[in-house]
């Protein structure tokens, strides 16, 4: 006797939703960033990255033309993930100009005080000779918002007659080099730098900066 009951149609996997596709993209960039930070640009491979997220090399290459493109995307992803928001930057305003500047400098220095932040900064420093754009990417995303905020404060102080700065953006960048870069380089070299030592170095450099910016 024949069974006239219609058989069930085979279940086909539909196209992933936008949210699923986005999650896969984030997973790929997370894995790529981890490989690049741990193994460096040369040591990381597309094969290993793809295997970590159960993708084929072909799928990865459909998204990124080569390892260089994936590296740039991973660095941008890592930078965006660690960048602080406007509300955090605004919260550095303190009761005095010096306290505000200390808070701004500390905010920037703290970005490299944990292992992942230090690794990200190190690979940017190491590979920027080969990929100069990754340094600009990091500056635009992670540093420039703070620089602009600081420039606004310096401009306010100049308008009030307490400072004499004719180029606030340049002065803000000089501040970052003068106050922030020293402790950051020390930390990235693998040396331990405690909170009290950071505060002492930062306050000393800020006093020098402010003395140079006083009205004459």
Residue 145 sits at φ, ψ, to 5 deg, of -60, -40
Closest CA to 118 of 34, 190, 182: 190
What pLDDT, on a 0 to 100 scale, did the predictor assign at position 7?
Answer: 46
C-beta neighbour count of 110 within 10 angstroms:
14
Hey, do 18-81 and 84-213 end up sharing a CATH topology, with the first three levels equal? Answer: no
Indicate the domain borders of the chain.
18-81, 84-213
pLDDT grade, residue 5 (50/70/90)? very low
Dist. CA 34–CA 94, nearest whole Å: 36
- Collapsed DSSP state (helix, strand, coil) of residue 189: coil
Give every CB contact of residue 172 below 8 A, 6+ residues apart in sequence.
147, 148, 150, 151, 154
What pLDDT, on a 0 to 100 scale, did the predictor assign at position 190?
Answer: 87
Q: Which tokens sit at 105?
A: 């400098």
What pLDDT, on a 0 to 100 scale, did the predictor assign at position 56?
Answer: 93
**Architecture of the structural domain at 18-81:** Orthogonal Bundle (1.10)
Dist. CA 93–CA 89, nearest whole Å: 8
Is residue 181 over pLDDT 60?
yes
pLDDT 10s digits, 102-154: 999 999 999 999 889 999 999 999 999 999 999 999 999 999 999 999 999 99
Cα 4 to its chain centre, rounded Å, is 64
Pick the CATH number of 84-213 from 2.130.10.30, 1.10.1530.10, 3.90.1150.10, 1.10.357.10: 1.10.357.10
Residue appearing with tokens 């993708």: 55
Are residues 88 and 107 in contact, defined by beta-carbon separation less than 8 angstroms? yes
pLDDT 10s digits, 161-177: 999 999 999 999 999 99
Q: What is the mean pLDDT of residues 67-75?
A: 97
């Amino acid at each position: 006797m024949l069974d006239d009951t219609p058989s069930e149609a085979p279940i086909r996997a539909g196209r992933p939703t936008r949210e699923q596709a986005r999650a896969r993209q984030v997973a790929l960039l997370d894995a790529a960033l981890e490989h690049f930070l741990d193994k460096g640009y040369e040591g990381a491979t597309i094969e290993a990255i793809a295997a970590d997220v159960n993708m084929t090399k072909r799928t990865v290459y459909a998204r990124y033309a080569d390892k260089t493109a994936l590296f740039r995307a991973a660095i941008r992803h890592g930078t965006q993930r660690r960048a602080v928001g406007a509300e955090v930057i605004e919260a550095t305003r303190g009761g005095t100009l010096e306290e505000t500047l200390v808070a701004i400098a500390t905010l920037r220095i703290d970005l490299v005080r944990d292992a992942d932040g230090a690794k990200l900064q190190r690979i940017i420093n190491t590979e920027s000779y080969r990929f100069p754009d990754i340094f600009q990417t990091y500056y635009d995303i992670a540093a420039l918002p703070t620089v602009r905020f600081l420039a606004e404060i310096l401009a306010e102080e100049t308008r009030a007659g307490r400072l004499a700065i004719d180029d606030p953006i340049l002065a803000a960048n000089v501040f970052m080099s003068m106050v922030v870069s020293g402790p950051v380089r020390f930390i990235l070299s693998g040396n331990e730098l405690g909170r009290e030592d950071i505060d002492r170095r930062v306050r000393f450099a800020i006093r020098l900066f402010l003395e140079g910016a006083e009205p004459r």
